Structure 1
Amino acid sequence: MKSIYKILTVLALMASTTACDDLLEVKNPNNQTTFDFGDSEPELQEALIACYNRIRLEGTFARVGYTLDAVRGDEVWNSSQQWYLEYDNLNSPGTIGIGDEWPWRDNYHVVNRANFVLSKVEDVEMSEEVYNQIKGQALFLRSLAYYHLATYYQSVPLIIDYESYSDIASLYAPNNTQDEVFDQIETDLTTAMQILPSRNNGGEWAKGRATSGAAAGYLARVLMFRHKFPEAYAVLKDIIAGKYGTYTLTQDYGDNFKEGTENNSESLFEVQFMNYGTGGTDEEWTPVNISPDATQGHAVESNYASQELGSWGDLAGSPWLYNLFRGEKCTDNRLDPRLYWTLVTYEPEYNTYTDIPTAAYPDGDPRSNVIYKETVTETPLSNNAQGGISIAKFTNARNNIYSTITNGLQCGINLRLMRYSDVLLRAAECENEINGPTQVAINYINEVRRRVALKDLELSDFPSANHLFEQIANVERPKEFGCENGRGIDLLRWGFFYDEGRMQQLIQHGYYKRDRTANTDPLTEATADDSSFKYLYKGHEYFPIFQGILNSNPNLVGNSANRNNDNGPGFLAKWSVRPVTDLN
């Protein structure tokens, strides 16, 4: 009997052990990892959405990553004299997270997710059409992230495989040169341009997604940054000819800054946001927030709008930009309507074409809390303590949607990162660089000017390439793209930081007053309180790499801003800077 009990006990133990083994082999479907995810086309589509989500974070385009380049330029100054001040003055010590770390962190999150998709896409069975869509989008988004990393931080680690960088905390790669990064971007965008569908062929799918036109547009930007004007011009002419889809200027310039006219005929690529009424309630400030109720908006409005109306009042438009608009009337003697959509100033003539006598928020100025017919007509301040002109672009100041500002990640206006007007003005610049001032270049510019009823330019007014360049760089582009992301990158590629005449010009453009008014007077050295460009440290036209990142990565070295190195000799060894040219 005892022997039987012993046998039964052994059998029971064996059975229980076998059962345990079976249980241990069961995988929890709710606890997937990157090792067992992404092996099917639906899962790759989900991973691709995660890539897009990363360009909607604070360090990419939801606030800091977008506005840092604007404040680096000459159209915007730091009216709070606090946040962004070191990036307005171009002298960050490298220990401030807002600009030295956040765009780095969040753009590398985009790189990380795009690399994951690209590491999986070759081994998943799918149609050629879907394969091209998935791979092309991942290549574009990785290139978008690296374009901003390279133009913000100069020399950054180039990581193009997922295995060497599966966790952002384990990034120990060394710096690559800016040229090496741009080489990779050119390769990736060339492929993406060839395999992605155009906006025409993509149909509803293409709304909000990267298309061949988006890839072509950004390829032209990278080529022009490297002064490869013939190559860039060829791409731009193909876009204009419709090779990558049909693009046209919107009839109303303001349609590029409203919620109801997003993904329109002019947009090559834009970041998708939703307004606070439908976009959730939890603020998603960090890259780890996975709340199902996370907000889907951006905080650019919180930076740009008036503190007097309830916003943070961090950034203001320059008086130079305001007076540039005022310097030229339309053919019907109106103000350039782009002023209305760029800066929040009250002009009496706004009543004649808006029928709303207000400087901002047509449904009711938050200062008065009354209906618009009784709204006060004073220009609101950017910042209560310093003053300044608040910025209208990508805010609800002109949209007649909300009567107040809701701070935080609440604004639902899509950020148009590249528009067809940029294609036209870049084509004019390339034509001028290659052939000098020609009627072809003038025609590209006039197409943009006619949209807002400005008088056509005449070729005879531009006797040299320097004259036409001055018109493009310091008249046409600032008025068309004023206060948008990209002006600082333009100043880099033109070499304005490396020429004494151009630096003096930037100082003049950057003059502002801290007199607690929305000062719109033309300012001089004698009448201005300051100019941010007076404080530029050598090498700080790029932002320093955050010291904490350098401390944690022994293979990484600082860039020109960390070392206060002058980039001028290196730039001038390859290219020249066009001299300041009087257009009068």
Structure 2
Amino acid sequence: MKSIYKILTILVLVGGLTACNDQLDVVDPNSQTTYDFGDSESELQEAIIACYNRIRLEGTFARVGYTMDAVRGDEVWNSSQQWYITYDNLNSPGTIGIGDEWIYRDCYHVVNRTNFVLSKVDGVQMSEDSYNEIAGQALFLRALAYHQLATYYQTVPLVTDYATYGSLNTLYASNNTQDEIFDQVELDLTAAMNMLPSRDEGGEWAKGRATCGSAAGYLARALMFRHKFSEAYTVLKDIIAGKYGQYELTADYGDNFREGAAYENNKESLFEVQFMDYGTGGTDDEWTPVNISSEASQGQAVESNYASHEFGSWADLAGSPWLYNLFKKENCTDGRLDPRLYWTLVTYEDEYNTYTDLKTAAYPNGDPRSNTVYQTEITETPTSNGDNGGISIAKWTNARNNIYSSITVGLRCGVNLRLMRYSDVLLRAAECENEINGPTQTAIDYINIVRNRVALEDLQLEDFPTADHLFEQIANVERPKEFGCENGRGIDLLRWGFFYDDGRLNQLIEHAYYKRDGTASTEELTEETADDSSFKYYYKGHEYFPIFQNTLNANPNLVGNSANKNEDNGPAFREKYSIHPVVDLD
């Protein structure tokens, strides 16, 4: 009997242990990993949304990933003289997180997630349309991230295979050349351009998802960065002809900077970053790349850097007096100020008080309270920074929207960032036409479409005797007035070679003059009257931002770029491309 009891006890124990093993094998559906996720169309659709989430981080476009290019340009200066100072002065030592690390880190978050989608999509059964939509969006977003990386950091690792992350031997990638990065960007965008629906499809494709038009627009940008003007011009003309969806300028320039469904994802927008309207998100500002709180605020913090101290912002960045005076040099055909000044910089102008019941592009907002900022009547220009002064920036803020009465600093602003607008297509088409054929009426016509929207007088071909003259008009008049304080000016300066020509570098120094006298100085500044110019401190090679030293320390295969080495990129640039000399348009 004792033997029987022993046998029964053993059987019970074995059975119990077996049952425990079965329970341990059960997969928790709330704790999925990349190994057991992404094997169905619905899961890949969720993964694509997760990819879009990564372009809304601080290092991609929610703050520094956007503003760092603006401060690298000549239209914006660091009015706090703290947070952005080494990037404004183009001499970062490579040990500061905001520009050297955060943008790099968060762009690779995008690369990582898009690579995951692309590693899975070929193995999932779905319709051809669904495949093209999923893969096309992943390719566009990966190209967008690499476009940022190549134009911020010059030489970075090119990782396109998700399996690379599975081994330390392959995880520590070495640098690729900037040309190799742009080759991949062009491949990805060309594929996406031929796979994605257009905005004309409606639904989600007209409400912020990447479309074939988005890909075509960014492909033209990528091609022009390497002076492939003929190839870019073909793409731009196809966009204008409607091949990738119907685009046109909004009647009111200001509609590109307003918050709300009536204005965002409008007919002028080729691609924009989506943020929830003010007050509709949660209360958690997620500054880290974890970004998983169900109470995340879901807004951008560009406003917190651009707006005025007087209305509650951090007041880190201000518009340059050069940009202000550029607007003041040319009035509309009826004598009014260029309305783009109103939407770009927060200045008090007497005539804004007369803009009532005139809802056209030539009259900013049809509101009799046109000198109202954050629902406060202003009688003088507010200062950007309480200590150093400066002109605060209106774009991507609520200053001219007046939906709410004050700034809540952090990731709270709901204005979508329009990364590419149809006006950019037109001005780039004019630039390509000028580069290929010299000044022509066709190039002038493209520019005049943009000028007509804001009731400026047409340019005349006879006023531009050479390609250099028309280029000067495009580069230093038309583009800064249309895109002032937007992301992209720094990238333009790179592709034009302005850092590699003494005349152009002196011009940048003059454009960037500012005063630290605690006022919103709007006077035209000279070397004698200015307190400083950020470009006076430029170190060769620092037109790109250095790769973070801790990143270099952690990766034995990675080496520094031109900024880490203080290396002059001028000789290599001039060997491949030409630089337009400075010409006087007066």
Taking structure 1 as the reference length, the TM-score comes to 0.97
Aligned partners of 1:361 and 1:404 also within 8 Å: no
- For 1:173, the aligned partner's letter is A
Q: Deviation string for 1:8-63 (max 9, x for gaps)?
A: 12222232232123222211111110000000111111111110000000000000
Q: Distance in 2 between matches of 1:421 and 1:341?
A: 15
What residue number does 1:456 align with? Answer: 458
Q: Distance in 2 between matches of 1:522 and 1:115?
A: 49
1:179-190 aligned within 5 A: 179-190=179-190
1:76 aligns with 2:76: yes
- For 1:499, the aligned partner's letter is D
Shift of 1:275: 2.8
1:478 aligns with 2:490: no
Aligned partners of 2:374 and 2:398 also within 8 Å: no
Q: Deviation string for 1:275-313 (max 9, x for gaps)?
A: 331111111111113110101100000000001221111
Shift of 1:378: 1.1
Q: Deviation string for 1:173-209 (max 9, x for gaps)?
A: 1000000000001001000000000110244443110
Task: Describe the shift of the 1:168–1:66 C-alpha distance in structure 2 as closer, same or farther (beyond 3 A).
Answer: farther
- Give identity over the alignment, percent: 77
Match of 1:343 among 337, 342, 345: 345
What residue number does 1:280 align with? Answer: 282
1:242 aligns with 2:254: no
Q: Distance in 1 between matches of 2:167 and 2:522?
A: 49
Match of 2:406 among 390, 401, 404: 404
Task: Describe the shift of the 1:528–1:513 C-alpha distance in structure 2 as closer, same or farther (beyond 3 A).
Answer: same
Q: Distance in 1 between matches of 2:378 and 2:243?
A: 49
Q: Distance in 2 between matches of 1:355 and 1:223?
A: 41
Q: Distance in 2 between matches of 1:10 and 1:386?
A: 82
Q: Deviation string for 1:151-185 (max 9, x for gaps)?
A: 00000000001111269999411000000000001
User: Please, which moves more after superposition, 271-280 or 258-267?
Assistant: 271-280
Aligned partners of 2:205 and 2:211 also within 8 Å: no
Shift of 1:268: 0.1
1:141-156 aligned within 5 A: 141-156=141-156
Q: What secondary structure is seen at the aligned counterpart in 2 of 1:106?
A: helix
Aligned partners of 1:276 and 1:295 also within 8 Å: no
What residue number does 1:227 align with? Answer: 227
1:142-541 aligned within 5 A: 142-165=142-165, 171-260=171-260, 261-353=263-355, 354-357=366-369, 359-361=371-373, 363=375, 365=376, 375-541=377-543
Q: Distance in 2 between matches of 1:357 and 1:269?
A: 31
- For 1:416, the aligned partner's letter is R
Unmatched 5+ stretches in structure 2: 356-365
Q: What secondary structure is seen at the aligned counterpart in 1 of 2:373?
A: coil
Q: Distance in 2 between matches of 1:383 and 1:73?
A: 19
- For 1:422, the aligned partner's letter is D
Shift of 1:362: 5.2
What residue number does 2:358 align with? Answer: none
Q: What secondary structure is seen at the aligned counterpart in 1 of 2:271?
A: strand
Q: What secondary structure is seen at the aligned counterpart in 2 of 1:217?
A: helix
Q: Deviation string for 1:489-526 (max 9, x for gaps)?
A: 00000000000000000000000000110000000001
Aligned partners of 1:136 and 1:191 also within 8 Å: yes
Taking structure 2 as the reference length, the TM-score comes to 0.96
- For 1:192, the aligned partner's letter is A
Q: Deviation string for 1:346-372 (max 9, x for gaps)?
A: 000111115445645252x2xxxxxxx
Q: Distance in 1 between matches of 2:316 and 2:372?
A: 17
Q: What secondary structure is seen at the aligned counterpart in 2 of 1:409?
A: coil
Runs of 4+ residues deviating >3 angstroms: 166-171, 202-206, 354-360
Aligned partners of 2:542 and 2:563 also within 8 Å: yes
Q: Deviation string for 1:554-576 (max 9, x for gaps)?
A: 10000000000000000000011
Q: What secondary structure is seen at the aligned counterpart in 2 of 1:405?
A: coil
Q: Deviation string for 1:381-416 (max 9, x for gaps)?
A: 000000000000000000020111111100000000
Task: Describe the shift of the 1:169–1:212 C-alpha distance in structure 2 as closer, same or farther (beyond 3 A).
Answer: farther
Q: What secondary structure is seen at the aligned counterpart in 2 of 1:417?
A: strand
- For 1:6, the aligned partner's letter is K
Q: Distance in 2 between matches of 1:222 and 1:128?
A: 28
Aligned Cα RMSD in Å? 1.4
What residue number does 1:580 align with? Answer: 582
Q: What secondary structure is seen at the aligned counterpart in 1 of 2:393?
A: coil
Q: Distance in 1 between matches of 2:170 and 2:538?
A: 34
Unmatched 5+ stretches in structure 1: 366-374
Q: What secondary structure is seen at the aligned counterpart in 2 of 1:349?
A: helix
Aligned partners of 1:72 and 1:90 also within 8 Å: yes
Q: Distance in 1 between matches of 2:348 and 2:48?
A: 44
Q: What secondary structure is seen at the aligned counterpart in 1 of 2:270?
A: strand
Q: What secondary structure is seen at the aligned counterpart in 1 of 2:131?
A: helix
User: Please, which moves more after superposition, 331-340 or 279-288?
Assistant: 279-288
What residue number does 1:372 align with? Answer: none
Q: Distance in 2 between matches of 1:360 and 1:525?
A: 34
Aligned partners of 2:78 and 2:318 also within 8 Å: yes
What residue number does 1:368 align with? Answer: none
Q: What secondary structure is seen at the aligned counterpart in 2 of 1:284?
A: coil
Q: Distance in 2 between matches of 1:241 and 1:289?
A: 40
User: Please, which moves more after superposition, 561-570 or 6-15?
Assistant: 6-15
User: Please, which moves more after superposition, 24-33 or 94-103?
Assistant: 24-33
Aligned partners of 2:278 and 2:412 also within 8 Å: yes
Q: Deviation string for 1:444-481 (max 9, x for gaps)?
A: 00000000000000000000000000000000000000
Aligned partners of 1:359 and 1:379 also within 8 Å: no
Aligned partners of 2:353 and 2:371 also within 8 Å: no
- For 2:559, the aligned partner's letter is V
Q: Distance in 2 between matches of 1:333 and 1:103?
A: 43
How many corresponding residue pairs?
574
Aligned partners of 1:359 and 1:380 also within 8 Å: no
What residue number does 1:559 align with? Answer: 561
Q: Distance in 2 between matches of 1:359 and 1:562?
A: 46
